[in-house]
Amino acid sequence: MEEQVTERMVIRASPAYCFQVLTDFERYPEWAADIKAVTVDERDGEGRPVEVTFRAAAFGRSTSYTLRYDYSQAPERLSWHQVRGDVTRRLDGSYEIEADDDGSADITYHLVVDLKVPLPVFVKRRAEGRITYTALKELRARAES
């Protein structure tokens, strides 16, 4: 059974700018260390990427997965679910973006991972925690630069 991992971070940039960085998928390889390539496979009527394929470094190898994005609660929430993956059955999540009193973005990242290959629980938890923390840390570095 999958469990959700959650990480939260305050980023000294506007929520609107953070949302813009998060949805500029084609630039992820410039700032997200584990993302090696991104292809936008489909866009919605507003030109927003809705189906995106990523090639990433994971567990010492290259992996690829395709995510479908939901903008129905944008820009306060960006959510996605996996539609294809070579080592993951499920890679579903969301970013919840709130404005702090000083205009900074308070971002909460939720992630559910289900791997096709069984791993010891402690290894899986460590990997999930690394994914969420690193994603927010790299987002903060990009948005605050």
Of 3 and 128, the structure prediction assigns the larger pLDDT to 128
pLDDT score at 7: 95
Distance (Å, whole) CA 124 – CA 27? 27
Q: What is the phi/psi pair of residue 72, to 5°?
A: -65, -20
Q: 4-144, what's its fold?
A: Alpha-D-Glucose-1,6-Bisphosphate; Chain A, domain 4 (3.30.530)
125 pLDDT above the threshold of 90: no
pLDDT score at 128: 84
pLDDT score at 16: 97
Distance (Å, whole) CA 48 – CA 64? 21
Give residue limits of the domains in the chain: 4-144
Distance (Å, whole) CA 89 – CA 86? 8
